[in-house]
Amino acid sequence: MQTRELGKSGLQVSAMGLGCMGLSYGYGPATDVQEAVKLIRRAYERGVTFFDTAEAYGPYKNEELLGEALAPFRSEVVIATKFGFSFDANGGQSGMNSRPEHIRTVADQALKRLKTDVIDLFYQHRVDPDVPIEDVAGTVKALISEGKVKHFGLSEAGAQTIRRAHAVQPVTALQSEYSLWWREPEQEILPTLEELGIGFVPFSPLGKGFLTGAINETTTFDSKDFRNIVPRFSQEARKANQALVDLLAKIAARKKATSAQVALAWLLTQKPWIVPIPGTTKLHRLEENIGAAEVELTADDLASIESALVTIKVEGDRYPPHLQARVNR
C-alpha cells in the first residue's frame, strides 16, 4: 500500500488506516478478542500501518486489544490514541477532562495497555471548554520532550482552536468526521490545515456504514448500537438519504468497484495529506476498504460526483444535541 505524510510532520502512515473503535464499542456487542486480533493483524499483512484507538472505546478494552494484536510488529506501525474524558465506576463517561495532570495519567495508563514505551500520536478526543488549549498543548509538548509521546493531535476542533494549539506545540493531525455526506470541513478546516501543514484523518469516512449501501430505511440496529440515537439514522432520514447511496452505486458499477471503495477513493483525491480510517469487524469488508486505495477516480468521475451532489440534500443531524455540544467550532 502507498504511504502518505500527515501534513508536514514527517509522520508517514499507510494511505488507508484502520479505525478500531467498532471492534470493542459503539456498534453493538464487542467482537470476540481473538477474531479482532486476527482482523487487526490481517490489516497489517495487507499494508495498513496506521491504527486508531482511544481510552474511551470500551473504555480501555480497545487499547488493550491493540496492545495484544500489534505487539509482534510494534516498531513497524503507528498507533494513535486519545485523552479527554473521565469515567465513572461503571465505565460510563462522566464528563470531559483535559486537565494537565489527567492527561499525564492517561498517557501512562495508555502506554501500559498498548504494551509500548511511546504513543505515536496522542489526540485530545474533544476540546475541553474548561481547560485552555494552550495548557493542553503544553502538557503534550512536555510528554513529547520526555519521550512518552511522538506527535500531538486534535479531534473535532475548530480552526481558531487549532491555531492556538499549533502555536504552542505543532499539531500533526486533526481527526474529524468527513465524507461524501458530511463536507463541512471543506469550508474552514481544510484551508487551515493546508496553511499550517497539518494532516487530516477523517473518521466515519463511510458515513457510519451508510455509504456502503448495506443500510436502508428498513435496517434495524442492535440495542447497543449508538446509531439508534443519531438523527441522520432515523428511518425518515435514511429514506431521504438513499439518493446519495444510489449515486455511489452507479459510479461504482462504472468503475467496477463497490460503493464503499468509491466513497473512500473520493476522500483520497481531496488532498494528499488526508488519511481515512474506516473501521470494520469483518475480514471481507477490511479487504474491500483496503482495495479502495487502488481505485482511481478521473477528473470526469469527480466532476460527475460533484454535480450530482449539488442536487442531493443530506437529511438529519450527525449527532443528537447532547453530543453535538461537544464539537468545538
Known catalytic residues are: 57
How many CB atoms are closer than 10 A to CB 76?
Answer: 9
The pair phi, psi for residue 81, each rounded to 5°, is -135, 180
Query: What is the spatial distance between Cα 95 and Cα 131, in angstroms, rounded to a whole number?
Result: 13
- Using DSSP's 3-state secondary structure scheme, residue 12 falls into strand
**Which residues fall within 8 angstroms of residue 250, CB to CB, at 6 or more apart?**
none
The pair phi, psi for residue 12, each rounded to 5°, is -95, 130
Query: What is the spatial distance between Cα 295 and Cα 2, in angstroms, rounded to a whole number?
Result: 12
Helix/strand/coil (H/E/C) assignment for every residue in 79-131: EEEEECEEECCCCCEEEECCCHHHHHHHHHHHHHHCCCCCEEEEEECCCCCCC
Q: How much helix, strand and coil, in percent to the nearest 5, is found in the chain?
A: 45, 15, 35
Query: What is the spatial distance between Cα 260 and Cα 211, in angstroms, rounded to a whole number?
Result: 6
Instruction: Tell me the DSSP string of 161-214.
Output: HHHHHHHHS-EEEEEEE-BTTB-GGGTTHHHHHHHHT-EEEEESTTGGGGGGT-
Q: How far is CA 87 from CA 108, 132, 139, 300, in A?
A: 16, 21, 21, 49
Cα 56 to chain center, whole Å?
13
How many CB atoms are closer than 10 A to CB 305?
Answer: 18
